[in-house]
């Protein structure tokens, strides 16, 4: 249970679905409630597929590109930490490459927004993918693998519920409330990124001493 909570907290914080709420609202404000629920469902489903592929194909991705786990954790730590700083400074959308003008122009020619930009890169971005690949290498054994899968399923259910109720969240919290929540999550995300960096650097130094 402790491992489940730790992994869920890290994964949920890095994905930060609350940061996607304003984008979801802006893209679906002209949709009916049923259409918005459908977009939320397909977005969470796409996230589920991306996360499962990232976790189970992580070993093959590392082997194919010849990347060591420590190198991946350092790169992932930097990406995750930079995402946290973007949340703290209020530049999360820009950090994800999501400019409002570009999104509005792109949405005119794109009938399906659940995959991109919502699922990728807004929720399941490079930081999330690198975190799961690291878990793939570190957490061995059937029980630990099932724990990660359970976390992924629960996280995607939470994403669906958050996006489905995004209009109520915006109405209840307001822009200032969402910004405050994003900044709190941003601090946690920075800590997760730094933790990845520290652990990988310690491993590298330990290997060099041998």
Q: Do 118 and 25 form a contact (C-beta atoms < 8 A)?
A: no
Is the bond leading into 117 cis (omega within 30 degrees of zero)? Answer: yes
CA angle 122-31-182, nearest 5°?
A: 30
Q: pLDDT band at 105, cuts 50/70/90?
A: low
Backbone angles phi, psi at 182, to 5 degrees: -65, -35
Q: What pTM does this model have?
A: 0.81
Own/partner pairs for 140-144, CB < 8 Å, 24+ apart?
A: 144/3
% of the chain with per-residue pLDDT over 90: 34
Distance, CA of 210 to CA of 203 (rounded, Å): 11
Alpha-carbon torsion (46, 14, 169, 105), positive or negative: negative
Q: Do 169 and 21 form a contact (C-beta atoms < 8 A)?
A: yes
User: What is residue 109's predicted lDDT score, i.e. its pLDDT?
Assistant: 43
% of the chain with per-residue pLDDT over 70: 87
> For 10-14, what is the mean pLDDT?
93
Q: pLDDT band at 111, cuts 50/70/90?
A: very low
Residue 188 has which token pair? 């946690």
Residue 165 has which token pair? 């109720």
Round the average pLDDT of the chain to a whole number and report it: 84
Give the residue from 17, 200, 36, 51 showing the smallest Cα distance to 114.
Answer: 36
Is the bond leading into 98 cis (omega within 30 degrees of zero)? Answer: no
Distance, CA of 120 to CA of 117 (rounded, Å): 5
Backbone angles phi, psi at 120, to 5 degrees: -130, 120
**DSSP code of residue 131:** H
User: What is residue 81's predicted lDDT score, i.e. its pLDDT?
Assistant: 87
């Amino acid at each position: 249970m402790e491992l489940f909570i730790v992994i869920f907290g890290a994964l949920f914080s890095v994905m930060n679905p609350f940061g996607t709420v304003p984008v979801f609202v802006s893209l679906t404000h002209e949709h009916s409630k049923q259409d918005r629920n459908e977009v939320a469902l397909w977005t969470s489903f796409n996230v589920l597929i991306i996360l499962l592929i990232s976790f189970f194909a992580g070993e093959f991705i590392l082997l194919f590109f010849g990347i060591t786990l420590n190198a991946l954790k350092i790169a992932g730590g930097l990406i995750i930490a930079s995402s946290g700083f973007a949340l703290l400074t209020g530049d999360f959308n820009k950090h994800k490459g999501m400019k409002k003008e570009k999104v509005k122009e792109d949405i005119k020619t794109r009938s399906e927004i659940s995959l991109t930009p919502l699922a990728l890169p807004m929720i399941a971005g490079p930081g999330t993918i690198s975190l799961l690949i690291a878990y793939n290498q570190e957490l061995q054994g059937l029980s630990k693998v099932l724990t990660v899968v359970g976390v992924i399923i629960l996280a995607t259910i939470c994403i669906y519920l958050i996006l489905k109720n995004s209009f109520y969240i915006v109405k209840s919290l307001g822009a200032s409330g969402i910004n405050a929540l994003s900044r709190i999550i941003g601090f946690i995300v920075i800590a997760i990124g730094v933790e990845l960096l520290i652990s990988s650097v310690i491993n590298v130094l330990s290997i060099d001493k041998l």
